[in-house]
Amino acid sequence: QVQLVESGGGLVKPGGSLRLSCEASGFTLSDYYMSWIRQVPGKGLEWVSYISSSGNTIYYAESVKGRITISRDSAKKSLYLQMNSLRAEDTAVYYCARYNYDSGRRMDVWGQGTLVTVSS
């Protein structure tokens, strides 16, 4: 069964750091691009970052550039999101998703999400 499970969310103070993890099962992580998407509760989806299957190509949304780092460890079947200098506006549910990067680029598998709350 193809599955993604996020972890690492929680309450953090403004300016703090947090590392999210996403463990993949049911498919070979190293064969796929992967992405992080976030959603403020009650609001829409916002793309955060994606990383190529090799890890050599990485893109970030302007809203997080310089504060967030995406990485992957195929041996551990995991995707990561290191978040630094967190702000209140980073409060959201963070989803990892498999980013199928063929001719019709799409997020075809999503995790259940992990909630990050930035508050003093």
Partner 1 sequence: SYELTQPPSVSVSPGQTATITCSGDKLGNKYVCWYQQKPGQSPVLVIYQDNKRPSGIPERFSGSNSGNTATLTISGTQAMDEADYYCQAWDTTSYVVFGGGTNLTVL
Kindly list the residues in this chain that would bind partner 1 in the complex (CB under 8 A).
Answer: 35, 37, 44-47, 50, 59, 61-62, 95, 100, 103-108, 110-113
Rounded CA gap, 66 and 100, in Å? 25
Rounded CA gap, 6 and 57, in Å? 22
Entry field: residues in the chain: 120
Nearer to partner 1, 46 or 71 (CB): 46
Rounded CA gap, 56 and 10, in Å? 29
Q: How far is the CB of 107 from partner 1 (least distance, A)?
A: 6
Nearer to partner 1, 59 or 89 (CB): 59
Nearer to partner 1, 11 or 45 (CB): 45
Q: How far is the CB of 77 from partner 1 (least distance, A)?
A: 19
Burial class (CB in 10 A: 0-12, 13-18, 19+), 75: exposed
Question: 3-class DSSP state for residue 31?
Answer: helix
Nearer to partner 1, 29 or 51 (CB): 51
Q: How far is the CB of 118 from partner 1 (least distance, A)?
A: 21
